[in-house]
Amino acid sequence: MKNRVVILGASGFIGRRVVQAVSRLDGVQAVAVSRHASAVPFAPGVEVADADVSTAEALEGAVSGAAGIVNCIAGSPDLIVAASKRLFDAAARMPSPPRVVHMSSLAAYGSVTGRIDESLVLRGDSDAYSAAKAETDRLASNYRNGVALRPGIVYGPGSGWWSDRIARLLVRGRLGDLGDRGRGFCNLVYVDDVADAVVRALNLEEGRLGPFNLSLSIPITWNDYFAQYGAALGVPPRSVSGLRLAVETRVLAPPLKLLEILLRTPGLARANPLPPLRPWLPAMCSHDIRMDVTRAERILGMHWTPLSTGLRMTADWFLAGGRTVH
């Protein structure tokens, strides 16, 4: 009989790639669980279950008999915390506690600066999301068969913020070289590398568990990311002045955000031509934070998709009118 690996939050951007990677493993039955999993065209052979794991019964039902669980649950901070708590409780009560690979985030570190490795205390002090990520990351560490993965900025086909939104801003000339404001490191990781890390974490021997940072090992600044992504999209490079950035984030962002919310209502155009440039983006682009991925390379044996390869695939997806997954 095949080992069941249950992916929670399977229809999300990362969840889908994880399902795909897990379904290719020999002797493993991938089980894709999310509220609307049956609406997603998963590969043949994947077992699909529609379940709202924010309720205890649904969650326990979904994970019973699993040899491995991948937690990609997304949603509001409260939901992430509540669902993850139930998940780790349920897993601990199972006869043989399954391996749980928990999708944490760079956000869990919060306001830390400089080079960060996994030994740093998670501050989780940036916002509610950051706090939720830090709290659930700790749940994973306290669970005896848990592995937390802390990806940086996950980009790739399907990524709403980091690939689609950035591409639209680049194409419209609203984003580019930010000068000093763009000199922070952008800890990019390609979505397939995250899925690969999940597979490796599922197979990791006990005793070597623990959290892993996931990011390109040769870091790139936000300015360089915008320049290289722009090049892949065929956009001439452009500088964005401080004044323009201030106008974008302080004056234009609120009405554009409102427009975005309005356009989301059914019956209106799906693709918003004018995405807002959120105020936190410039702050993030100058934040000096660099992930140390030595542990992921040594213990998980990670190899990272070269940036040009990842950006090419992302740009091709975007230029072909690719859809994002939330």
Partner 1 sequence: MIVTSDELTDEMAADVAVCIVGGGAAGITLACELDECGHKVLLLEAGSLKPSAETQDYYNGIAHAPHPAANEFRRVALGGTTSIWGGRCVPFDPIDFEPRDYVSNSGWPISYEEIARYYPRALEYCDAGKFDFTAAGSISGGGPTIAGLEPNDVIERDLIERYSLPTDFGRRYGGILRMSRNVITVLRARCIGLEKAVGEDRIEAVKIAAASGRSRVIRSAFVVLAMGGIECARLLMASDPRGVGYGNRTDRLGRFYASHLETSFGRLVPHGAKVAFDFEKTDDGVYCRRKFQFLPSAQRRHRLLNTAFRLHFPEYSDASHGSSVMSAIYLAKSFLIPEYQNILQQDPAHATSSPAPAHWRNVMSGLPNLARFGFDWVFKRHLATRKLPYTLVPNADGSYPLEFNCEQTPLESSRITLADDLDAHGMRRVRIDWRRSDSDLLAAQRAFLLLRETLGQSGACRLEFDDGVLVERLSRSAPVGGHHIGTTRMAFSSSGGVVDTNCAIFDFPNVCIASSSVFPTGSHANPTLTIVAVALRLASHLRTRLSSE
Among 95, 236, 266, 267, binds partner 1 (CB under 8 A): 236
DSSP secondary structure of 93-133? HSSSPPEEEEE--GGGGTT--EEE-TTSPP---SSHHHHHH
Among 100, 215, 307, 318, binds partner 1 (CB under 8 A): 307
| Contact between 152 and 309 (Cβ < 8 Å) | no
Question: Judged by CB, which is closer to partner 1: 162, or 229?
Answer: 229
Residues touching partner 1, count (CB under 8 A) = 28
Question: Judged by CB, which is closer to partner 1: 85, or 303?
Answer: 303
Looking at 26-34, 97-105, 278-286, 310-318, which segment touches partner 1 (CB under 8 A)?
Answer: 310-318
Site string for partner 1, 167-206 (x = CB under 8 A): ----------------x-x---------------------
Among 145, 205, 196, which Cα is nearest to 24's?
Answer: 196
N- to C-terminal Cα distance for the chain?
A: 34
Q: What is the bridge-based pairing of β-strands 185-186 and 220-221? A: antiparallel
Q: How far is the CB of 144 from partner 1 (least distance, A)?
A: 30
Looking at 10-18, 101-109, 191-199, 306-314, which segment touches partner 1 (CB under 8 A)?
Answer: 306-314
Task: Rule CB under 8 A: say whether 309 interacts with partner 1.
Answer: yes
Looking at 44-52, 103-111, 221-229, 274-282, which segment touches partner 1 (CB under 8 A)?
Answer: 221-229
Among 65, 237, 254, 301, binds partner 1 (CB under 8 A): 237
| Contact between 23 and 6 (Cβ < 8 Å) | no
Burial class (CB in 10 A: 0-12, 13-18, 19+), 151: buried
Task: Rule CB under 8 A: say whether 232 interacts with partner 1.
Answer: yes
Q: How far apart are CA 87 and CA 247, in angstroms?
A: 44
Q: How far apart are CA 285 and CA 223, in angstroms?
A: 8
Q: How far apart are CA 285 and CA 90, in angstroms?
A: 39
Question: Judged by CB, which is closer to partner 1: 45, or 236?
Answer: 236
Q: At what angle do helices 13-23 and 191-202 cross, to 10 degrees?
A: 50
According to DSSP, the residues that pair with 70 across neighbouring strands are: 7, 101
Task: Rule CB under 8 A: say whether 288 interacts with partner 1.
Answer: yes
Task: Rule CB under 8 A: say whether 300 interacts with partner 1.
Answer: no
Among 115, 144, 208, 298, binds partner 1 (CB under 8 A): 115
Task: Please give the residue ranges that form the binding site for partner 1 (CB under 8 A).
Answer: 114-115, 183, 185, 218-219, 221, 224, 227-228, 230-232, 236-237, 288, 290, 292, 303-304, 306-309, 311-313, 315
